Amino acid sequence: MKTLFSQHIVRLQQIVQQALELARLDGLWIYAGGMKYHFLDDQTAPFKINPHFNYFFPDPTAEQSWIFVDGKNKPKVYFYAPQDYWHVVPNPPVSAFFADEFDWQMLTEPSQIKQYITQPQHCAFIGDDVALAESLGFEHINPKKVLNVLHFERSIKTEFEIECIAKAQYSAIKGHLAAKDAFFSGKSEFEINLAYLQATEQSDNNVPYGNIVAINQNSAVLHYTRLDTQLPKARHSFLLDAGTTCCGYASDITRSYAYDPQSEFAQLVAQMEQFKLAIIDELKVGINYLSYHTQMHQWISQMLREFDFVKLPAEQIFEEGISRIFFPHGLGHQLGLQVHDVAGFQQNHRGTHKAPPDIYRSLRCTRDLAEGMVLTIEPGFYFIEMLLNPWRNAPLARFFNWDKIDHFKQFGGIRAEDNVVIRANGAVNLTALAER
């Protein structure tokens, strides 16, 4: 990791040089961020680090720390290490694999940073605390020209970043296996979540996103996080969407299961798994992500016909938009320091934005695939009454097998999700490698 991180910093220095030249600035002051208090309360939300800080400094716990970088000199970290008997203060990672890439200055009080920021009018502040930036004299606060370069480059991962995401696959797979065992042994959603957290050595406060632990019809809620404490009367299906992190870089994996392996729902689960792997095999540099999303809708249209959910030709099912009822989200998204990572719509360093087409508003990537991108591939198939209901009185309603559709609503839905890195000769499935 040490060598990979050294190479990572070299590339980031080049990126910073490019951004500073475009913005005509001398350097970047990147603030890690701090705890945020709830309204009229002395309790805080869980700390979430500024991803731009984490991009340079792979410690997502470095609250109220700073980095100064100018693209030429060794980056300097101003690490906040207070004296505190109320809370556990993290030890400065001065012996970590990445420590030698920085000059270090310790802060025991947040206000001490002011003595080190001598010419803020010639530098950019990158962070969420605008009031703090203004109080320190910064005039260039999150300038677009700088952010556009940083965001676009973050969409192309270094080998260090890819290794971190790959490591996060292994810990997440341990959790998925523990959760699967918990479901089939008769545990509730709440208990399954505990099994996942224990296996991955995480708490609910530091998972990369809220775990989706859904039994039966709950899996038709795309971002279901309620966690029932009681078991349903009957178990039909289980969906787990959960990940872990390594140095701040996330994994994002989903698996679906049929309680009865001989059921038709089990056949649907197997079919969606095949679709996922087939589309991953087709991913190539230079091809727009939208084309793969469209291909998945065509395949799901065929599945709707083959499993007798809709009695129309697959081509018509696709053209009429019926597949979008059953697959209402995007095929996937960029993955990195943020689960839904930046620049999915950004086409170049200038920040040119390409929105998804109106018929696929939930699509999170409109980019041509490039070497070094890391993405999720997560086709889904659901029985969602809110989306089905408008079609019950539509002109094509008589072609829907409503009895069968209503029967399958008890299963909720299916999602199959892996994380891939785009290489020159195609995609490498990082999740599948961790499962071997």
Report the C-alpha gap between 410 and 171 in whole angstroms: 31
252 annotated ligand-binding residue: yes
- Residue 216 CB burial class (10 angstroms; 0-12, 13-18, ≥19): buried
Q: Please identify which residue in the block is written with the tokens 């992190």.
A: 245
Amino acid at the residue 396: L
Report the C-alpha gap between 354 and 356 in whole angstroms: 7
Return all residues near 412 (Cβ < 8 A) that are at least 6 apart: 214, 216, 217, 218, 219, 220, 221, 236, 237, 239, 382, 383
Report the C-alpha gap between 251 and 257 in whole angstroms: 20
406 annotated ligand-binding residue: no
Report the C-alpha gap between 200 and 208 in whole angstroms: 12
Which helix (H) or strand (E) covers residue 382, if one does?
strand 380-382
Structure tokens at 126: 């990158």
Amino acid at the residue 291: S
417 annotated ligand-binding residue: yes
Q: Which residues are annotated as a binding site for Mn(2+)?
A: 241, 252, 333, 378, 417
Q: Which residues are annotated as a binding site?
A: 241, 252, 333, 378, 417
